[in-house]
């Protein structure tokens, strides 16, 4: 029996599983975005990790859930007079979002136990996966803390900072999954030069910062103002007294629409410039595979910028906002895979040629 081929198949199964979980995380982010944009996130007023998986099954159950929602500030301030049928739509979005989180937990942990029992997971990979599992558990708690912030007196939506933290944690889990999956790639891949490795690693970090800032924009509804580009209210840089109009000054970074949107714009430009410079450097000094991946990052970043501008100019329609959020996950995925593969791979080349699975398939030709 060819032990090398058997090892390749074992690694391929683990890699496929990691990408499946990563795809579910992207779906979770998309459903979470739809939940927020439809105002559904506060329709379930309790955190029941186990029993909450069962939706209301009778009219009495629905009436009880609706009565709880009627006690929330969101209902009393925004949705007074809402009927039960409309409430069921809101409830369905939030319930689906929470159910998908439970599904991700099962899809992650059950195969993890099986693969570990079968000896398919190395010590280093296992520690990384356990760390992601713990982070996923925290993510559920962060989600409830976020929802609870929107149930406080006078609140009609969740706190922007907690929304940004929830989104960023999901993005960090996604980055961790694709980093580990890319590390399971078969075949020998030489590391890129040190400078390219450093800038390749900087890119997903910058993208994570930008996603956090995007979460602040979404949570504070800052995208509904200054719907022009490249200027904001006729100026490339708003005046300081506009950017820091709130006291204490630190609160401007979360609650001031002008500064929140300005930060998001400036960081987008920074990500684009770094991606361009990195791609040029990779084309001039790096291996062909690294250059191909770097160009791929630039293309996705450019598409994301164009979509972000369109979303702003159109005053944040649902379809554009969701597409912008999902494309951000694609940018993060590509940047993360690029950063991981730029470190090189010392895996033994498979006996039979096998096309790389996932985003690392954009690595290009062999070195």
- The answer to whether the peptide bond before residue 248 is cis (omega within 30 degrees of 0) is yes
CA distance 211 to 56: 34
Q: Which two tokens stand for residue 294?
A: 């770097």
Q: Any binding-site annotation on 166?
A: no
DSSP label at residue 232: B
Q: In the numeric block, which tokens belong to residue 217?
A: 């924009």
CB 327 within 8 A of CB 304: yes
DSSP 9: H
Residue 221 annotated in ligand binding: no
Residue 56 main-chain phi, psi, to 5 deg: -55, 135
**In the beta sheet, which residues pair with residue 232?**
235
In eight-state DSSP terms, residue 356 is P
Contact criterion met (CB below 8 Å) for 331 and 300: yes
Is the separation of the CB atoms in 186 and 347 below 8 Å? yes
Q: What is the DSSP string of 304-350?
A: HHHHHHHHHHTT--HHHHHHHHHHHHHHHHHHHHHHHHHT-EEPPPP
SS3 state of residue 350: coil
Q: List the binding residues.
A: 264, 324
Q: Binding site for heme: residue ranges?
A: 264, 324
């Amino acid at each position: 029996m060819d032990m090398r081929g058997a090892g390749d198949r074992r690694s391929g199964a683990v890699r496929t599983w990691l990408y499946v979980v990563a795809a579910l995380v992207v779906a979770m982010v998309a459903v979470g975005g739809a939940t927020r944009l439809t105002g559904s996130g506060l329709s379930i007023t309790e955190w029941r990790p186990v029993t909450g998986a069962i939706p209301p099954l009778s009219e009495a159950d629905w009436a009880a859930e609706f009565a709880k929602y009627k006690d929330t500030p969101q209902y009393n301030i925004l949705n007074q007079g809402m009927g039960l049928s409309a409430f069921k739509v809101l409830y369905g979005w939030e319930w689906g979002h929470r159910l998908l989180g439970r599904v991700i937990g099962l899809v992650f942990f059950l195969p993890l136990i099986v693969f570990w029992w079968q000896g398919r997971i190395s010590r280093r990979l296992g520690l990384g996966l356990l760390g992601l599992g713990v982070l996923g558990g925290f993510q559920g708690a962060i989600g409830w803390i976020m929802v609870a912030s929107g149930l406080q007196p006078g609140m009609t939506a969740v706190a922007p900072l907690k929304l940004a933290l929830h989104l960023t944690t999901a993005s960090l889990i996604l980055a961790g999954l694709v980093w580990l999956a890319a590390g399971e790639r078969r075949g020998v891949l030489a590391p890129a030069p040190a400078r390219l490795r450093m800038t390749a690693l900087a890119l997903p970090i910058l993208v994570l910062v930008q996603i956090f800032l995007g979460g602040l924009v979404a949570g504070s509804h800052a995208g509904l103002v200054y719907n022009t580009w490249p200027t904001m209210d006729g100026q490339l840089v708003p005046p300081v007294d506009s950017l820091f109009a709130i006291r204490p000054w630190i609160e401007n970074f979360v609650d001031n629409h002008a500064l929140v949107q300005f930060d998001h714009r400036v960081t987008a430009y920074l990500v684009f410039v770094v991606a361009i410079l990195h791609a040029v450097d990779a084309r001039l000094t790096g291996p062909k595979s690294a250059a191909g991946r770097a160009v791929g990052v630039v293309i996705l970043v450019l598409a994301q910028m164009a979509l972000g501008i369109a979303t702003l100019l159109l005053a944040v329609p649902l379809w554009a906002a969701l597409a912008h959020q999902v494309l951000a996950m694609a940018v993060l995925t590509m940047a993360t895979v690029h950063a991981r593969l730029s470190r090189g791979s010392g895996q033994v080349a498979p006996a039979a040629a096998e096309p790389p699975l996932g985003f690392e398939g954009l690595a290009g030709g062999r070195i």
